[in-house]
């Protein structure tokens, strides 16, 4: 492959079909990494629709997790958003800027998102709330969600994530559902998650084995007076053994007497299982811990 030809193939405008993606990878000399969860969303209309659904206002800075080849990134910079793209794969990160023809508004960090410090993101955001988004690598999507809520809650006001549909269903599940659990609680206490759109495997290259879903998280205007870590920790205890009653799960951690006192103070029947308790009940329980 000669220089000009290779450069042409590397340009994002051309990476619009599975055959062109694979041609480009052949020119790169490596393939998409399944270990890094690389499933590229190549449909232009879908990329535009996902970005539009976040209604990002002018001047708002955007953080993209896992830009990959840059399909979504291109839409963001074309919409004139100052964009920070954080990509773990060095081979893709190093060429991202060139693939998008070097836009000024794009900053690329070749880093693992899970290693990014809160202060670093804060410094980049300039103290204004950002939008965080991404077609997340599925192998670590729940760990990324935990960081976004537990460590970066003060930094954003809206997020949009493409997730495995099964994870999206756990996020939006309500009490009484088998899917309702730790992820539902953490995300619902601090935001209003919406499963906005379902995406079938054929929209991605390579096609994943599962359906995906685009979830939008609007940070609540009134954040309850509890910390995300308290929510994660208590829900871990309460959902520890899903088939056990709340009283038994709490007793394992706090002892029978304290567990009983907590339940009484919160006005919750200890014979219930955690999956039957609404978000509000968990907040009352956390507050009993002082």
Residues near ligand SAM (CB under 6 A) are 36-41, 65-69, 71-72, 86-89, 92, 112-114, 135, 137, 140
Helix, strand, coil % in the chain, rounded to nearest 5: 50, 15, 35
DSSP track, 247-258: HHHHHHHH-HHH
Q: Which is nearer to ligand SAM, 82 or 164 (CB)?
A: 164
Q: Which is nearer to ligand SAM, 69 or 130 (CB)?
A: 69
Instruction: State in angstroms the smallest separation of the CB of 135 from ligand SAM.
Output: 3
Instruction: State in angstroms the smallest separation of the CB of 137 from ligand SAM.
Output: 3
Nearest to 183 by CA among 215, 157, 209: 215
Instruction: State in angstroms the smallest separation of the CB of 116 from ligand SAM.
Output: 8
- φ, ψ of residue 212 to 5 degrees: the values are -120, 165
Question: Which residue has the CB atom at the shortest distance from ligand SAM?
Answer: 66
* Under 8 Å between Cβ of 200 and 214: no
**71-75, long-range: CB within 8 Å, 24+ apart, which pairs?**
71/12, 71/15, 71/40, 71/41, 71/42, 71/44, 71/47, 72/41, 72/47, 72/133, 72/134, 72/135, 73/100, 73/106, 74/12, 74/47, 74/100, 75/47, 75/48, 75/51
| Residue entry with tokens 């790169």 | 28
Q: Which is nearer to ligand SAM, 1 or 114 (CB)?
A: 114
| Residue entry with tokens 């009352």 | 284
* Under 8 Å between Cβ of 262 and 254: yes
Instruction: State in angstroms the smallest separation of the CB of 144 from ligand SAM.
Output: 7
DSSP state, 289?
A: T
H/E stretch holding 83 reads strand 83-86
Q: Which is nearer to ligand SAM, 168 or 231 (CB)?
A: 168
Instruction: State in angstroms the smallest separation of the CB of 105 from ligand SAM.
Output: 17
Q: Which is nearer to ligand SAM, 111 or 287 (CB)?
A: 111
Instruction: State in angstroms the smallest separation of the CB of 35 from ligand SAM.
Output: 9
Instruction: State in angstroms the smallest separation of the CB of 51 from ligand SAM.
Output: 11
| Residue entry with tokens 């990324």 | 144
- 10 Cβ neighbours under 8 A, 6+ residues apart: 24, 27, 28, 95, 98, 99
Q: Which is nearer to ligand SAM, 87 or 275 (CB)?
A: 87
Q: Which is nearer to ligand SAM, 65 or 266 (CB)?
A: 65
């Amino acid at each position: 492959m000669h220089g000009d030809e290779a450069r042409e193939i590397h340009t994002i405008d051309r990476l619009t079909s599975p055959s062109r993606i694979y041609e480009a990878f052949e020119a790169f000399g490596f393939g998409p990494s399944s270990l890094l969860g690389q499933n590229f969303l190549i449909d232009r209309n879908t990329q535009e629709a996902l970005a539009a659904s976040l209604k990002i206002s002018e001047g708002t800075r955007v953080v993209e997790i896992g830009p990959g080849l840059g399909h979504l990134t291109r839409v963001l910079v074309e919409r004139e958003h100052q964009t920070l793209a954080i990509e773990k794969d060095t081979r893709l990160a190093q060429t991202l800027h060139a693939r998008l023809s070097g836009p000024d508004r794009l900053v690329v960090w070749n880093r693992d998102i899970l290693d990014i410090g809160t202060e670093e993101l804060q410094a980049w955001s300039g103290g204004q709330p950002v939008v965080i988004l991404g077609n997340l690598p599925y192998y670590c999507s729940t760990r990324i969600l935990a960081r976004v809520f537990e460590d970066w809650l003060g930094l954003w006001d809206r997020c949009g994530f493409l997730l495995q549909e099964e994870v999206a269903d756990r996020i939006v599940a309500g009490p009484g559902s088998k899917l309702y659990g730790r992820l539902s609680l953490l995300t619902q206490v601090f935001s209003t998650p919406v499963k906005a759109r379902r995406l079938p495997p054929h929209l991605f290259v390579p096609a994943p084995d599962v359906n995906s879903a685009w979830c939008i998280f609007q940070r609540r205007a009134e954040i309850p007076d509890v910390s995300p870590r308290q929510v994660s920790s208590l829900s871990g205890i309460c959902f520890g053994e899903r088939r056990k009653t709340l009283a038994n799960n709490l007793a394992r951690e706090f002892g029978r007497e304290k567990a009983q006192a907590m339940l009484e103070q919160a006005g919750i029947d200890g014979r219930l299982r955690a999956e039957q308790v609404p978000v509000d009940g968990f907040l009352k329980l956390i507050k009993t811990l002082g």
